[in-house]
A and B are shown apart, each in its own frame.
Chain A
Amino acid sequence: MVEVHLWSSLRSLTGGCEVVEVEARTTGELLRELVRAHPQLQAPIDAGVSVAIDGRIIATGLSEPIPEGAEVYLMQRLRGG
């Protein structure tokens, strides 16, 4: 199981949970399972998210592996200039 830490304002979409546990081996699976667990997370995921795995920010990639016991944060997708 992967513990996914959400940013605070997503709590309103997850019944107050800021940490969601899902079964996922890749970033793509993780996003899919998050929506399965909390369908309302589809909107922020569609709007654009990044996934931080042990501090490394995966901006868009869906096939990045998630190691066992990794620290995982969902983040709003970054934009640059």
Chain B
Amino acid sequence: MALDDRKSEFTFVGTRPDRPDGLDKVTGRAKFGADMSAPGMLHGAILRSPHAHARIVKIDASKAEAHKDVKAVVTRADFADVPFKPGLEGEFWNVLENVMAGEKALYDGHAVAAVAATSALAARDALKLIEVEYEVLPHVTDVDKAMAPDAPVIREGAADYSVPEGMHPNVVRYHESGHGDVEAGFAEADLVIEDSFVTEATHQGYIEPHACLGALGGDGKGELWCCTQGHWIVQKTCAALLGIETSQLRVTASEIGGGFGGKTTVFIEPVALALSRKANRPVKIVMSRSEVFRATGPTSSASMDIKIGMKKDGTITAAEGIFRLQGGAFPGAPGDMTAMCAFAPYNLTNVRQVGYDVMANRPKQAAYRAPGAPMGAFAVESVLDELCNQLGLDPVDVRLKNAAHEGTKASYGPTYERIGLVETLEAAKAHPHYSAPLKPGQGRGISCGFWFNHGGETSVSLALSEDGSAQVMVGTPDIGGSRASMALMAAEVLGIPYENIRVTVADTASLGYNDVSHGSRVTYASGLATIKAARHAVEKLCERAAAKWGIPVDAVKWEDGCAVPSGPNAGDFDPIPLADITADMGRTGGPISGHFEATPEGAGVSFGTHIVDAEVDPETGKTSITRYTVIQDAGKAIHPTYVEGQYQGGAAQGIGWALNEEYIYGDDGRLQNSIFLDYRIPVASDLPMIDTVIVEVPNPGHPFGVRGVGETGIVPPLAAIANAVSNAAGVRMRQLPMSPPRILAALKDNG
């Protein structure tokens, strides 16, 4: 049989069919994390530290345990004794320590004990019966202060090999990379600008709080239903934290009401299982919004210094960035990612970037779409904008002049394969938005953005039914329309309609291992696996047709959903449609399925360019985003509507991050704004129509050319909006969010 590996003409891919989960979601039939119940179910609640940093001297749960409605109380002693090791090896320890505090409470909201009771109200009331004696310790929540010599030490010995001698113990990882000679480069420049920038931590802001239902018996066998971006990592982590065998825990992912990277780890799941094991009954835990803010992953906050030199013609001669990221009371802040992404859009002869991972008394940071990249882009692209302003250069022309392309040595080292940055910039320049006149009081901002994308471990199974329909089992929770994309890709290979394919997110007992839905990997990796699984099934379909015709299998090819002779020499046979082969498959060799398991290693990096218009009210400091255009390379858009949705979502979240969202800590180290009324994400009336342009520069690492699109879209907005606001207000904004008080202060400082 003949199959081309590369495909550029498509029948189904690129169309915009209805979403397969639409009816379930608009009718309320879709089951999210909190929608599952079980007979005899208990409700769990978690007691959290009111202190930013405190030694736990004693926990007395006797009164709670004696209450008639309480069936179990757990503390750290009820989890596996995972040994502490610094660095990534100790990540299980870090997660355990975050799930349930050990010797110290490390941040406001850190879990210290949990109860299971007969109702949710009884569980919450029972928390008040647990007496915890704390010895309050000095705390630090600011990244720069956490690095200072007099900062309280969060945990001795957490730093890994990379940290230079003499740094504060709160600095736990260090990264430095680059090439060329930056000092020589700065000497060649006509203008060098050096500036510093700060961003606050923001939350992923998913609408669905974490929720789960766990059951674990004394035999070590368990079931877990939860809202997650990756149920295999939940399975693996819970098994490690509870000291049970991985395969004995079956985890099923619910529908997911947003994740954005924040649901790539565990918080309440091991607690529900520990309570269940003790109470011998299923336990459900649903976080409140306040718990989500206080105890689940926000982004890192950042403090950054940037220096860029430019010639009068716009050529960048050298670039240098220092990126300090605070990631809470655990190692993991992506200072290395910030550093590696910050200058990646540009073709630089001389570049140096340094990243620090710094601990502070805040919740453990979690990934948030392109973790680390948006902050770096904000700082770098702000300085580029200022250079353009001072040299009187067009910001798109300057970016085009310096843009990375195929063959460019990336700022992080290797030489780029085929990439699409130049195409996004050319599309920006040609877009009517870029030439539209601005009204008085408005400013326009441009920014580019980069993200690596990822492949990851992936398994897919595809089974054909007797009537010619197909079911596809994937293991990556659908956080952005992947069921539709998988169905389109399977339809393309099988040649049967999209509507005849049902895609299911299988549980951990039904499919091989799958990495988390992160790294913009799902349409790339699960998509590649779906294509290969479908091709595997097609091979078998061709074998059955060959047997019917009595010709060799390599004389059969698959075309438009039918087996056909591969050429005139193969014989004169009428095409056999897929459904005619599956109709009697049980009697011609058995069920026909296709499988694929691999770790695809060709995700292909991605670039975007954003154009933003902003208007600043000088009396109130309020910013309105009046126009927004996202241009991004998707490689190949499988379902363009979902791709546009990803672009718009990145812009919307970026608008929140840039203008209003921030974690506000009091002097006592406690979070001051742990509800949506005080932590303001954009609502519909805050947003303009966000226009999108899909650029398609195929990824050589995917059979259909797909590049991930989920993360790159949040990289440019902070910078593009900051540039627009700075140009509108006539003053450079160096701190995010650009909330009205900060804008008023900047206007006042500027006279």
Q: Which residues of A contact B (CB under 8 A)?
A: 5, 7-9, 12-13, 40, 43-44, 46-48, 52, 54-61, 64, 71, 73, 75-76, 78-81
Are the C-beta atoms of B337 and A79 separated by less than 8 Å? yes
- In the complex, chain A residues whose CB is within 8 Å of the CB of B623: none
- In the complex, chain A residues whose CB is within 8 Å of the CB of B454: 59, 78, 80
Are the C-beta atoms of B340 and A76 separated by less than 8 Å? yes
- In the complex, chain A residues whose CB is within 8 Å of the CB of B336: 76
Minimum CB–CB distance from A30 to chain B (whole Å) comes to: 14
Enumerate B589-616 residues with CB–CB distance to A below 8 Å: 599, 601-603, 605
B367 interfacial contact with A, CB 8 Å: yes
| CA distance in complex: A65, B160 (Å) | 30
* 8 chain-A/chain-B pairs, Cβ below 8 angstroms: A9-B174, A44-B162, A46-B89, A55-B410, A60-B599, A79-B334, A80-B370, A80-B519
Are the C-beta atoms of A81 and B601 separated by less than 8 Å? no
B161 interfacial contact with A, CB 8 Å: yes
- In the complex, chain A residues whose CB is within 8 Å of the CB of B260: 81
Are the C-beta atoms of A47 and B601 separated by less than 8 Å? no
B176 interfacial contact with A, CB 8 Å: yes
- In the complex, chain A residues whose CB is within 8 Å of the CB of B410: 55
- In the complex, chain B residues whose CB is within 8 Å of the CB of A60: 456, 599, 601
Partner of B177, one of A8, A52, A78: A8
| CA distance in complex: A58, B498 (Å) | 32
Q: Which residues of B contact A (CB under 8 A)?
A: 87-89, 160-162, 164, 174-178, 260-262, 264, 334, 336-337, 340, 352, 366-371, 410, 412-417, 452-456, 518-521, 599, 601-603, 605, 701, 711
Q: Smallest CB-CB separation from A11: which chain B residue? A: B176
Are the C-beta atoms of A13 and B701 separated by less than 8 Å? no
Are the C-beta atoms of A81 and B371 separated by less than 8 Å? yes
Minimum CB–CB distance from B656 to chain A (whole Å) comes to: 16
Minimum CB–CB distance from B201 to chain A (whole Å) comes to: 14
**A-B contacts besides A59-B599, A73-B413, 12 pairs, CB < 8 Å:** A7-B177, A7-B413, A12-B164, A13-B161, A43-B162, A47-B87, A47-B89, A52-B413, A56-B417, A76-B336, A79-B518, A81-B261
Partner of A43, one of B161, B177, B264, B711: B161
Of A56, A58, A79, most B-chain CB atoms within 10 Å: A79
Are the C-beta atoms of B176 and A7 separated by less than 8 Å? yes
Are the C-beta atoms of B160 and A43 separated by less than 8 Å? yes
Are the C-beta atoms of B602 and A76 separated by less than 8 Å? no
Using A8-B176, A79-B334, A81-B519 as known contacts, say yes or no to A73 and B87 having CB atoms under 8 A apart: no
Minimum CB–CB distance from A47 to chain B (whole Å) comes to: 5
- In the complex, chain B residues whose CB is within 8 Å of the CB of A80: 261, 367, 370-371, 452-454, 518-521, 711
- In the complex, chain A residues whose CB is within 8 Å of the CB of B601: 56-61, 64
Using A7-B175, A9-B174, A56-B601 as known contacts, say yes or no to A47 and B161 having CB atoms under 8 A apart: yes
Are the C-beta atoms of B413 and A5 separated by less than 8 Å? yes
- In the complex, chain B residues whose CB is within 8 Å of the CB of A79: 334, 337, 367, 371, 518-519
Are the C-beta atoms of A81 and B711 separated by less than 8 Å? yes
- In the complex, chain A residues whose CB is within 8 Å of the CB of B602: 56
- In the complex, chain B residues whose CB is within 8 Å of the CB of A64: 601
Are the C-beta atoms of A81 and B415 separated by less than 8 Å? no
| CA distance in complex: A70, B605 (Å) | 19
| CA distance in complex: A44, B89 (Å) | 11
| CA distance in complex: A77, B214 (Å) | 32
| CA distance in complex: A48, B175 (Å) | 13
Partner of B701, one of A46, A56, A76: A56
Are the C-beta atoms of A71 and B415 separated by less than 8 Å? yes
- In the complex, chain B residues whose CB is within 8 Å of the CB of A55: 410, 414-417
| CA distance in complex: A16, B414 (Å) | 20
Interface of A is mostly: mixed
Minimum CB–CB distance from A65 to chain B (whole Å) comes to: 11
Are the C-beta atoms of B455 and A48 separated by less than 8 Å? no
Q: Which 7 A-B residue pairs are closest in the complex by CB-CB distance?
A: A81-B261, A80-B519, A81-B367, A43-B161, A52-B414, A9-B176, A7-B177
Q: Smallest CB-CB separation from B204: which chain A residue? A: A81
- In the complex, chain A residues whose CB is within 8 Å of the CB of B371: 79-81
Minimum CB–CB distance from A31 to chain B (whole Å) comes to: 15
Minimum CB–CB distance from B133 to chain A (whole Å) comes to: 37
Partner of A57, one of B176, B603, B711: B603
- In the complex, chain A residues whose CB is within 8 Å of the CB of B599: 59-61
Minimum CB–CB distance from B618 to chain A (whole Å) comes to: 36
Of A43, A57, A61, most B-chain CB atoms within 10 Å: A57
- In the complex, chain A residues whose CB is within 8 Å of the CB of B162: 9, 43-44, 47
Q: Smallest CB-CB separation from A61: which chain B residue? A: B601
Are the C-beta atoms of A78 and B519 separated by less than 8 Å? yes
Are the C-beta atoms of B370 and A81 separated by less than 8 Å? yes
- In the complex, chain B residues whose CB is within 8 Å of the CB of A8: 176-178, 352
| CA distance in complex: A12, B164 (Å) | 9
Using A43-B161, A80-B371, A81-B264 as known contacts, say yes or no to A59 and B456 having CB atoms under 8 A apart: yes
Minimum CB–CB distance from B703 to chain A (whole Å) comes to: 15
Minimum CB–CB distance from B633 to chain A (whole Å) comes to: 16
Minimum CB–CB distance from A55 to chain B (whole Å) comes to: 4
Of A8, A12, A55, most B-chain CB atoms within 10 Å: A55
Of A5, A8, A52, A80, most B-chain CB atoms within 10 Å: A80
Partner of B417, one of A46, A54, A76: A54
Minimum CB–CB distance from B713 to chain A (whole Å) comes to: 12
Q: Smallest CB-CB separation from A18: which chain B residue? A: B179
Of A5, A78, A79, A81, most B-chain CB atoms within 10 Å: A81
Of B162, B175, B262, B369, most A-chain CB atoms within 10 Å: B162
- In the complex, chain A residues whose CB is within 8 Å of the CB of B174: 9
Are the C-beta atoms of A59 and B455 separated by less than 8 Å? yes
Q: Smallest CB-CB separation from B370: which chain A residue? A: A81
Minimum CB–CB distance from A53 to chain B (whole Å) comes to: 8
Q: Smallest CB-CB separation from A74: which chain B residue? A: B413
Q: Smallest CB-CB separation from B163: which chain A residue? A: A9
Are the C-beta atoms of B175 and A9 separated by less than 8 Å? yes
Minimum CB–CB distance from A39 to chain B (whole Å) comes to: 12
- In the complex, chain B residues whose CB is within 8 Å of the CB of A57: 414, 452, 601, 603, 605
- In the complex, chain B residues whose CB is within 8 Å of the CB of A61: 599, 601
- In the complex, chain A residues whose CB is within 8 Å of the CB of B453: 80
Minimum CB–CB distance from B66 to chain A (whole Å) comes to: 44
- In the complex, chain A residues whose CB is within 8 Å of the CB of B701: 56
| CA distance in complex: A78, B412 (Å) | 12
Of B177, B371, B453, B701, most A-chain CB atoms within 10 Å: B177
Minimum CB–CB distance from A61 to chain B (whole Å) comes to: 5
Minimum CB–CB distance from A5 to chain B (whole Å) comes to: 6
- In the complex, chain B residues whose CB is within 8 Å of the CB of A59: 454-456, 599, 601, 603
Q: Smallest CB-CB separation from B367: which chain A residue? A: A81
Are the C-beta atoms of B370 and A71 separated by less than 8 Å? no
